[in-house]
Amino acid sequence: MKILNLYAGIGGNRKLWGDEHEIIAVELDPEIATIYQDYFPNDKVIVTDAHKYLLENYKEFDFIWSSPPCPTHSRINNSFKNNNKKLKYPDMNLYQEIIFLQQFFQGKWVVENVIPYYEPLIKSKVIGRNSFWSNFEISTIPIKKGSIGSMNGKHMKNWYANKSLAERNMVNPELGLHIFKCAFKEKQVRNRGK
């Protein structure tokens, strides 16, 4: 199976997927892309704009996971209204990708983000601290409060940027695996019956 992992970060969502698939990871930050490659040497990592890459390459994949940047959707943004911090519009790339995938992508897809500070424009499935939009049913699993997992690799140890922020921004690996399995549960059940 050919998988596209957009806004890959350090790869928390993908950590437990195994290595039997062809995975293309897209990450804009070269330093973070290097850390991802350290964890997943068999994946092809592309340093570019994930939003643009999706539009130009979506037809090549069987499964797409997208985790667009969350700061402008985060509930912490709502706390800025009563202080001197500069407010920002929510980044609509999130909804552009959901609508695009709904209308044009034939495979399985999921878009992940934080629980927004506003009523979502498109209904999502909420699990733990994450919102998910997908074209398959995602069942709920218990997630321990504060449980995000961790990543330890040679590049992470030498990374002088905020390691805890990178780990906080990643999807819990067990949740990433659960969603991956949900995407193909229907297919697996059908295959067992044959």
Q: What pLDDT, on the 0 to 100 scale, is given for residue 142?
A: 87
Residue with more model confidence, 191 or 175? 175
Across the range 91-114, mean pLDDT stands at 95
Tokens of 120: 């979502």
Across the range 78-86, mean pLDDT stands at 65
Percent of the residues in the chain that have a pLDDT greater than 90, as a whole number: 59
Beta partners for 26?
6, 46
**Mean pLDDT in the chain?**
84
Instruction: Give this prediction's pTM.
Output: 0.84
Q: How confident is the model at residue 189 (pLDDT cuts 50, 70, 90)?
A: very low
Q: What is the CATH number of the domain that holds 152?
A: 3.40.50.150
8 Å CB contact between 153 and 12: no
Q: For residue 180, which amino acid is it? A: F
pLDDT at 188 over 80: no
Q: What pLDDT, on the 0 to 100 scale, is given for residue 160?
A: 46
Written as one string, the DSSP assignment of the chain is: -EEEEET-TT-GGGTTS-SSSEEEEE-S-HHHHHHHHHH-TTSEEE-S-HHHHHHHHGGG-SEEEE----TTTBHHHHGGGGSSSPP----THHHHHHHHHHHH--SEEEEEEEPBSS--SS--EEETTEEEEESS--------TT-------HHHHT--S-HHHHHHHSPPHHHHHHHHHHHHHHHHHHHHT-
pLDDT at 71 over 90: no
Tokens of 34: 């290097």
Q: What pLDDT, on the 0 to 100 scale, is given for residue 136?
A: 97
The pLDDT tens digits for 103-120 are: 999 999 999 988 887 788
pLDDT at 34 over 80: yes
Q: Cβ-count burial of 111 within 10 angstroms (0-12 exposed, 13-18 middle, 19+ buried)?
A: buried
Q: What pLDDT, on the 0 to 100 scale, is given for residue 80?
A: 56
Q: How many domains does the chain have?
A: 1
Residue with more model confidence, 81 or 113? 113
**Domain enclosing residue 165, as ranges:** 2-80+89-192
Q: How confident is the model at residue 20 (pLDDT cuts 50, 70, 90)?
A: very high
8 Å CB contact between 118 and 92: no
Q: What pLDDT, on the 0 to 100 scale, is given for residue 145?
A: 56
